[in-house]
Amino acid sequence: MNANDTKLRQLDYVEHMLEAIRLVRSYVKGMSRDAFFADKKTQQAVVLNILIIGEAAAQTAKEYPEWANRHPEVPWRAMRGMRNRLAHGYFDINLELVWDTVQGPLLELRSQLLGVLSEESAAKK
């Protein structure tokens, strides 16, 4: 495996996170907080994609710590923590926290990840 292959793998994780964010946003588009709290199917779809984001972040930080450290604007540890909270506390998921995450931090994360892609693309040139 050469350096370019490694970089592609790191960016694959970023792409997986961006796709999960896109899916979450599509699931809750036009949905009120009350509608979200009443819709188990949407809750489960959102939680699954937040788990995917957290797992991709955890793998990135574990497999490529130096690369992740070069992007401190991305909350790698917090994403892993959210994933762990959801995965290990399944019967006690805080839906208020999930909803709030979807409405704010997830949008910020999207911007941060797009910034990483842009920065990495510029570095290739």
Comparison of pLDDT for 84 and 5, the residue scoring more: 84
What six digits make up the tokens of 98?
């999930």
φ and ψ at 48, to 5 degrees? -55, -45
Q: What is the pLDDT of residues 36-86, one digit of tens each?
A: 999 999 999 999 999 999 999 999 999 999 999 999 999 999 999 999 989
What's the whole-number mean pLDDT along residues 21-35? 98
Q: For this structure, is 33 an active site residue?
A: no
Q: Is 83 a catalytic residue?
A: yes
- C-alpha 119/C-alpha 91 separation (Å) is 40
pLDDT given for residue 67 in this prediction: 94
pLDDT in the model for residue 38? 98
Say yes or no to pLDDT of 4 above 70: no
Catalytic hit among 16, 71, 80, 83: 83
The domain limits of the chain are: 3-120
Q: pTM of the prediction? A: 0.89
Contact 15, 107 (CB under 8 A): no
